[in-house]
Amino acid sequence: MATSRSDLPDLPDLASWLTRQRWFAAKDRPIEAVRVSDAVPLQVAGDPRTWLVTVTVDHTDDAPSGSWQLVLTRRLHEAEPLLGTVDGVPVTELVSAPRAALSLLDVARRGQHLRAASGATVTARPVGRAPDPAPTERLMGVEQSNTSVVLGEQVAVKVIRRLEPGPNPDVELTEALTTAGFEGTPALLGVITGPDDAAMAVMTRYVHGSAGAWEGAVEEAAGGGHHGVADGMADLGRLTAEMHRALASTLEVRQSTVEDADRMRNRLMEDARTTTRTVPEVGDGLVDAVANRRAATPSTMGRLQRIHGDFHLGQVITDGADGWMILDFEGEPGRPVSERRRPDHPLRDVAGMLRSFAYAEAAAVRAGGDPEAAARWRRRAEQGFLDGYGAVDRPWLDLFVLDKLLYEARYEAANRPDWLQIPLQALAPMGATMPTRSNPSGSPKGNKSKKGKKGQAPVPPVPEPAPPAAPSAAEPDLPDIGEAVQALRDGRLHDPHSLLGRHQLADGSWVVRTWRPGALAAELVGADAGSAEEVVAGLFQVATATEPDPGTYRWRITYPDDQTFELVDAYAFEPSLGEVDMHLLAEGRHEQAWTAMGANPRTMHDIDGVAFAVWAPNAQSVRVVGEFNSWDGRLHPMRSLGSSGIWELFVPDVPDGAHYKYEVVTADGSLVLRADPWAKWSDVPPGTASRVWKGDYEWTAAPPSTDHLHGPMSIYEVHLASWRWTDDPDAEGGRRPLTYRELADELGDYVEDLGFTHVEFLPVAEHPFGGSWGYQVTGHFAPTSRFGTPDDFRYLVDSLHDRGIGVIVDWVPAHFPKDEWALANYDGTKLYEHADPRQGEHPDWGTLVFNYARTEVKNFLMASALFWLESLRVDGLRVDAVASMLYLDYSRKSGEWVPNKHGGRENLEAVELLQEVNATAYKRNPHAFTVAEESTAWPGVSRPTHLGGLGFGFKWNMGWMHDTLSYFSKEPVYRRWHHNQLTFGMMYAWSEHFVLPLSHDEVVHGKGSLIGKMPGDRWQRFANLRALYGWMWGHPGKQLLFMGGEIAQEREWSEERELDWPSLLDGAHAGVRDLVRDANRVYRELPALWRRDDDPTSFQWIDANNADANLLAFVRYGADGDPAVAVVANLSPMPHHDLRIGLPHAGGWREALNTDAEIYGGGNVGNMGRVEATDQPWHGLPSSAVISAPPLGVVWFVAED
């Protein structure tokens, strides 16, 4: 029934009852009046048993009134406190009768619109499918601001006590995470909302048997048992990062502005002044210390998004089965809802958790734990959490931690003075506190044996709201130039541009600074000033009345011995990465990221130079060093671009080809030299420096083909270092491999002569160890310098294109070597690789595995693939070791791998990467294609991504290769028992777009050469090899042959020597080469052999069952008008004369290829060039012909017009 205003509850002792409730946060403020302002009956079978009641509290101060919610229900037992009556019915409150929560769940499950006494509408709606809980209920412990009830140990019902207009962050974020499929928080099941979308109650899945992380942490830190809290912090860090990604995928995200960063910094300075005034213990040094930290932060904060907002150990539980679960997304309860719903920085959550560890440490000591052990526990928890979370913008994280510390100091001084030592202890290293006892527990020394009462350790305090401050109109002077210079020396200054270069002062004048350690003097040239003052050793400064033009002024630097240099100021320029670059990189969708990252020659303000950019988010600083600054890292410290983790600097006048590296100061203060991951040119191994590449080659030829699927494809696989050598008196031993430009002529002539349509290069990306054949890549954008420059490589590609030959390169995204001058531990942390060795190390190859879950790593690899296709213009990428990417348990034993989020073995992030690379490559480059070396039965490898496949153009048919070589390696007398090894492949030949590979992998590591695998005497071995090629070229699919196979090289291949070219003086070897040449020519002339490779109707068995005779025959069909091709294979050593075979039609059939021809070294058993088919049906076909099948030979017949 409708409720009228007279139906409001009568609660005579409401004010007294309200102030005794823990969740009533206004109890310390003077109350003027408390009144019941509304009520909503929840009816069961038409009978209201529970009421949602709104209470308005007026205060005597100037603060606005507040609205609070009660849940009243019928009083059933004398023991339940009587709060009042509703229509004469005695009622009590939820805290005494948690059964009332059943009514809230009931209306939410049914989805009802309820009428309040005021006439307002209250909406109850389901979100997920709520279970039917058992009829048991209990309060969920003690809460600070709300009340939760557990129903049947299955559902948690939270009653929101403070009613505020607008969407509730807890409801909003939990629903967003549920929608995103995030499994690290209990799923949302239902919601009750009032007027203005004010949340009134929330229902979520209850995590049964859970334990609070706070309680476990305190007990573990105190030495009271091992609860796995510290050990599990890496998992919690990963879950936190996943939470942030899930929130970013469903709710508002925006890039921060300079104004956002200024507001944060200015607010922090104001907080420091307030803390100094209100907490005498911090001392006068706090403001200066905060100013120094403030100066170290980049100009922007990176991405802003929705965050947890009140993240600490008290908001985390674990049940041992589901792992960590994150709760309570209301945000800081002291802040208005509108403010809590604004996008914020994810590192604020990280800072909250880090400070929570410090409070757990202190609580553990108060509970009787050993201070040193508790401190070790804290450090282990902090490191684990940060390792799991991944890359962080350290300057901004430090600032958010400082923000927490300032609030903690004010809060503890006002409310819990005996806890004040906790924030003071953290502030002390900054020189911000007055002399005081150093004790991480925050309690007096000597009380170690006194155990505190259990359960009294508080949850860490939450930050208070603070009004935003407007940015300053002009850049102020640095508060302490000496401190900034010291930070520059120590490698702690994240934004050297804040100290160096041009700066406008508050009075409108300008100051220009340069950092030249060891210089005697500095002079500004081209501006209205002269000699500079050395304000701090090495730091020179000039004041000017007008703004100096970065394109015209120079520094003239004088060193001892009267050495003078005139330099363009590297710190006069804006960031070389624009807003679009930063946005695309943050999203992981910068498809030409190599133009923004690495070393890119460009012109800024009419000044030629090189823009350097590298990703090292956990570094304290990064400096670019090279020939242009005598490898002195002090001269060119780079600028951090906020949370992106990118360091950037434009250095004028760096020449093309200059060698360089990055000098990285890691998080622990270590100084390491690193090559540039994005370098397009590298030093010749064993050199490890990167090189600047201008790249001014002018292309002349277009790619040869775009329809690779329906065109001929015959691939010659080449290892450039061991293909052919040339005389060189300067080389070791007097001979060396050919250069790129020499290969353009010699390899180009050779491949063109043999008729291959494509060459495939084993990895030519830079690699330190030649014995790896290039598969342990350190330069993912750089063609190896062993054979020339990147432009020389372009010349090779262009020359091959000019001959109509396509170029494929092997691309290796599956793993990378552990050389620490390259990608490994790049900024002192596991950056490109997984931190967990079960995910980050490859057991077979002793290499590291990329962390495909990281946006930056995915973008790095995608950009690498596109760079080879677009900047170096190769036609195809053969992706190595795809199977090792797809399976988390690849070559791993039980317990040595980590399942995916669904508990499976599939590497979902690797799948996503491969799909993105393939889809993007085909979208941007119509001429391009990709090939997968995938050795398992993963479905849809060459299926388009929009149909759920991986999106490759082709897949290596490893099954065909193993079966075929196994068959051909057997003596013919035994082949009858293995006939299915040649026929079985047709069962799956059209499940993918296949390449038939006889690759380098089959002629190394003791496997011998292809000719060495063939059985029989010398004549039979060569005949078998020729028959293998005849069978392969006629088989459905594209074909690939590794170098040396075309000349029947008898020695196993070795990367340390060239091919055995003198063997061609032997007629048998030359015959095999000639057969390959003719097979390629005839293959390209006959569309039936390639036009419909993807169509099963293009193939028909003639005879697949004559195992006893080792005979097989099939016919290939092209499009309308294309002549059919019949392939007959006699793989026994006996010729078969007068052999009748079925054919699709009568007429003449020309013998197009015979592997037993005398010109190839065969016995010349054949058919005099042609056969005539009659209308006599045979083998299920309408016509037939009588032929001769040569021993160990394959014959192709082509229908004549």
Mean pLDDT in residue range 1113-1124: 95
Structural tokens at position 55:
């209470």
CB 1022 within 8 A of CB 1011: yes
Which residue bears the tokens 């750089």?
782
DSSP state of 358: H
Among 328, 353, 392, CA closest to 158: 328
Q: What is the pLDDT of residue 244?
A: 95
How far is residue 670 from each of residues 621, 666, 708, measured CA to CA in Å?
A: 11, 5, 51
Q: What is the pLDDT of residues 652-709, one digit of tens each?
A: 999 999 999 999 998 888 888 999 999 999 999 988 999 999 998 999 998 887 789 9
For CA atoms 801, 806, 810, 813, give the dihedral sign: positive
Q: What is the pLDDT of residues 841-874, one digit of tens each?
A: 988 888 999 999 999 999 999 999 999 999 999 9
Cα atoms found within 13 Å of the Cα of residue 1002, Cβ hemisphere only: 26
Q: What is the pLDDT of residue 430?
A: 65
Is 880 one of the annotated active-site residues of the chain? yes
CB 672 within 8 A of CB 621: no
Q: What is the pLDDT of residues 407-459, one digit of tens each?
A: 899 888 888 888 899 999 888 876 555 443 333 333 323 333 333 333 323 33
Secondary element (H or E) of residue 1072: helix 1067-1085
Q: What is the pLDDT of residues 12-51, one digit of tens each?
A: 989 889 988 888 888 777 888 899 999 999 876 556 789 9
The two beta strands, 1147-1154 and 1170-1173, are antiparallel
The C-alpha atoms of residue 50 and residue 101 are separated, in whole angstroms, by 9
Label residue 1011 by pLDDT band (50, 70, 90): very high
DSSP secondary structure string for all residues of 548-611:
PPTTT-EEEEEEGGGEEEEEE-GGGS--SS-HHHHHHHHHT--TTGGGTSEEEEEEETTEEEEE
The C-alpha atoms of residue 947 and residue 262 are separated, in whole angstroms, by 48
**376: pLDDT strictly greater than 70:** yes
Backbone angles phi, psi at 453, to 5 degrees: -70, 140
The C-alpha atoms of residue 358 and residue 740 are separated, in whole angstroms, by 60
Among 1131, 1149, 1147, CA closest to 1196: 1149
CB 907 within 8 A of CB 887: yes
User: Domain 481-572 adopts which CATH fold?
Assistant: Immunoglobulin-like (2.60.40)
Secondary element (H or E) of residue 487: helix 481-490
CB 393 within 8 A of CB 645: yes
**Can you give the residue ranges of every domain in the chain?**
5-206, 208-255+301-345+359-386, 257-296+393-445, 481-572, 579-679, 958-1199
DSSP secondary structure string for all residues of 1121-1183:
TPPPEEEEEE-SSS-EEEEEEEESS-EEEEEEEETT-GGGTS---S-TTEEEEBS--BTTBSE
Among 897, 1178, 876, CA closest to 1040: 876
For 771, counting Cβ atoms within 10 Å of its Cβ (0-12 exposed, 13-18 middle, 19+ buried), the class is exposed
Label residue 131 by pLDDT band (50, 70, 90): confident
DSSP state of 1195: E
Mean pLDDT in residue range 378-402: 89
Angle ∠(683,689,694) on CA atoms, nearest 5? 65
CB 851 within 8 A of CB 825: no
Q: What is the pLDDT of residue 6?
A: 54
Domain 958-1199, classified CATH 1.20.272.10, yes or no = no
Which residue bears the tokens 């790619």?
703
Angle ∠(831,833,834) on CA atoms, nearest 5? 100
The C-alpha atoms of residue 1060 and residue 1047 are separated, in whole angstroms, by 9
For 308, counting Cβ atoms within 10 Å of its Cβ (0-12 exposed, 13-18 middle, 19+ buried), the class is buried
How far is residue 1131 from each of residues 316, 540, 904, 929, 1002, measured CA to CA in Å?
A: 69, 85, 45, 35, 21
For 448, counting Cβ atoms within 10 Å of its Cβ (0-12 exposed, 13-18 middle, 19+ buried), the class is middle
Among 253, 287, 255, CA closest to 269: 287
At the fourth CATH level, the homologous superfamily of domain 579-679 is: Immunoglobulins (2.60.40.10)
Q: What is the pLDDT of residue 832?
A: 96
617 sits in the region (left: phi over 0; alpha: psi -120 to 50; else beta) called: alpha
Side-by-side strand order, sheet with 563-568: 521-525, 554-559, 563-568
Secondary element (H or E) of residue 540: strand 539-544
Q: What is the pLDDT of residue 330?
A: 81
**1061: pLDDT strictly greater than 90:** yes
Is 1055 one of the annotated active-site residues of the chain? no
Mean pLDDT in residue range 1047-1061: 96
CB 80 within 8 A of CB 49: no
**2: pLDDT strictly greater than 80:** no
One fold for 208-255+301-345+359-386 and 579-679 = no
Does the predicted TM-score (pTM) go above 0.75? Answer: no
Q: What is the pLDDT of residue 683?
A: 93
DSSP state of 253: E
Which residue bears the tokens 């390899």?
747
Residue 1086 CB contacts under 8 Å (≥ 6 apart), including other chains: 1118, 1122, 1123, 1125, 1152, 1196, 1198
Mean pLDDT in residue range 806-827: 94
Q: What is the pLDDT of residues 553-601, one digit of tens each?
A: 999 999 877 789 999 999 999 999 988 899 899 999 999 999 999 999 9
Of 581, 760, 791, 880, catalytic: 880
The C-alpha atoms of residue 667 and residue 815 are separated, in whole angstroms, by 25
The C-alpha atoms of residue 763 and residue 808 are separated, in whole angstroms, by 10
Q: What is the pLDDT of residues 963-985, one digit of tens each?
A: 999 999 999 999 999 999 999 99
CA dihedral 288, 292, 298, 301 (to 10 degrees): -50
If one compares 181 and 128, the residue with the highest pLDDT of the two is: 181
How many residues in the chain?
1201
Q: What is the pLDDT of residue 447?
A: 31
Structural tokens at position 782:
């750089």
Residue 347 CB contacts under 8 Å (≥ 6 apart), including other chains: 392, 393, 396, 397, 400, 643
| Helix (H) and strand (E) counts in the chain | 26, 55
Structural tokens at position 522:
């500095």
The C-alpha atoms of residue 224 and residue 631 are separated, in whole angstroms, by 53
Task: Give me Rg for the CA atoms of the chain.
Answer: 38
Residue 200 CB contacts under 8 Å (≥ 6 apart), including other chains: 52, 69, 122, 159, 160, 163, 192, 193, 194
Alpha helices in 85-228 (DSSP H): 101-110, 169-179, 213-221
Structural tokens at position 1186:
């009588």
Q: What is the pLDDT of residues 520-539, one digit of tens each?
A: 999 999 877 778 888 888 89
At the fourth CATH level, the homologous superfamily of domain 208-255+301-345+359-386 is: Aminoglycoside phosphotransferase (APH), C-terminal lobe (3.90.1200.10)
Q: What is the pLDDT of residue 437?
A: 31
Q: What is the pLDDT of residue 134?
A: 72
Q: What is the pLDDT of residues 82-114, one digit of tens each?
A: 999 998 899 999 999 999 999 999 888 888 888
Q: Which of 406-420, 422-436, 459-473, 743-757 has the lowest mean pLDDT?
A: 459-473
The C-alpha atoms of residue 1021 and residue 1027 are separated, in whole angstroms, by 10
Of 349, 676, 810, 933, catalytic: 933
